[in-house]
Amino acid sequence: MNSTRLAAVAILLAPAALFLAACGGGDSNTTTSQPAPAATTSRTGAGADVAPTTATAAGTPNASTSATGVKKLNLNTLSADELKKTIPNFPDRFVTEFLEYRPYVSIQQFRKEIGKYNVGQAQLAEWEKYVFVPVKPNDADAETLKQLPKVDDAVAAKLIAARPYANNDAFVAKLTELVPGSDPAQIKALLG
C-alpha cells in the first residue's frame, strides 16, 4: 500500500481505536492518563471503599478517593472543570445537566434527573463511580446510604431502623458496629 492509502486507513480506524480505548478494550499495553474505573459492577454502594481527599470551607467533603484510586466528586460542590477532568470521556453536553439539579438530596434524585436525558442504567452506573451525593444520616434513603463503603441493602435497612442519630459520630459508630473493619474516616468523607 502506498502512504496515501495507509493514511486514509489510519484516519478511518482512529475513531474505532478511540472507542475501544474508551470502553476498556484494545491493547492491554496501552496507557492512559485517565483514572481506572472502579473494580465493582455495582453502583457506588456495597464494597466501594473511599477515603477523604479534600473538603470545602464548610466542612462538606468535595471529593473522596476510592480504594481503587478513582476520585469521587461531591455532586453538590463539584465544578464543571472537575467533572470533565475526573470522569473519563465525559460528554460536554452533560456538564450543565449534572450541575442544573443541585442540590442533590439522594442518589435516586440524581438517577431520575439525569435519566430524563435517555441515559441508560449502565452509563449512570459508570458515572456514579466518580460522583456521590453527601449522605445525611437521618434523612438518606437506602440507595444513598449504599454509597458508603461496604453498605448493602441489609446494612442500609439496619441504619435506617436505628434512626435518629444524635450526630454524625453516632452514625459512624453504628455503621462501624454493623460493618466491622470499616474506616471511620472513609465514612465521614461521604457525610453531608
pLDDT tens-place string over residues 3-26: 444 444 444 444 444 434 444 444
Asked if omega into 103 is within 30° of 0 (cis), the reply is yes
The predicted pLDDT at position 62 comes to: 65
Residue 114 covered by a domain: yes
What is the pTM assigned to this prediction?
0.66
Counted domains in the chain: 1
Residue 34 covered by a domain: no
The predicted pLDDT at position 71 comes to: 78
Domain that holds residue 86: 50-188
Residue 111 covered by a domain: yes
Residue 173 covered by a domain: yes
Residue 184 covered by a domain: yes
The predicted pLDDT at position 61 comes to: 53
How far apart, in whole angstroms, are the C-alpha atoms of residue 104 and residue 128?
13
How far apart, in whole angstroms, are the C-alpha atoms of residue 63 and residue 190?
8
Spans of the chain, pLDDT less than 70: 1-69
Contact yes or no for 114/70 (Cβ under 8 A): no
Residue 4 covered by a domain: no
On the CB side of 126, how many CA atoms lie within 13 Å of its CA? Answer: 15
How far apart, in whole angstroms, are the C-alpha atoms of residue 96 and residue 90?
12
Q: Which of 79, 141, 88 is nearest to 110 (CA)?
A: 141
Q: Which amino acid is at 50?
A: V
Residue 137 covered by a domain: yes
CA gyration radius, the chain:
19
